[in-house]
């Protein structure tokens, strides 16, 4: 009974916390660069940084940036209703 009542009310807040935690962890570029030595475990921002360092061609960097933005924009724009609901849940009764 409690899950049927409380979970739908908490869903926007839980979704907002998960999305913001994902976005926060993904942007840890300066912490992850010296710690991750294996290329298989590097994140996309570190890979983009290495791509910018190795090549001077702006076209490749722009293409890599566009490919990096697509999953994040889908991940943030699709559940936008829940994000806004979670951020404003405490203000509206």
pTM of the model: 0.46
Q: State both tokens at 42.
A: 């590097």
Rounded mean pLDDT of 75-82? 74
73, 83 contact by CB (below 8 A): no
- Which residues lie below 8 Å from residue 27, measured CB to CB, with a gap of 6+? 45
Report how far residue 11's alpha carbon sits from residue 34's, in angstroms, rounded to the nearest whole number: 37
Each residue of 37-55: pLDDT tens digit? Answer: 887 887 777 777 777 777 7
């Amino acid at each position: 009974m409690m899950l049927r009542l409380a979970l739908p009310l908490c869903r926007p807040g839980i979704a907002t916390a998960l999305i913001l935690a994902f976005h926060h962890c993904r942007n840890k570029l300066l912490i992850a660069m010296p710690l991750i030595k294996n290329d298989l475990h590097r994140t996309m921002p570190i890979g983009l940084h290495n791509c910018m360092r190795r090549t001077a061609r702006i076209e490749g960097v722009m293409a890599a940036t566009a490919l990096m933005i697509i999953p994040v924009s889908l991940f943030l724009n699709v559940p936008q209703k829940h994000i806004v609901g979670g951020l404003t849940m405490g203000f509206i009764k």
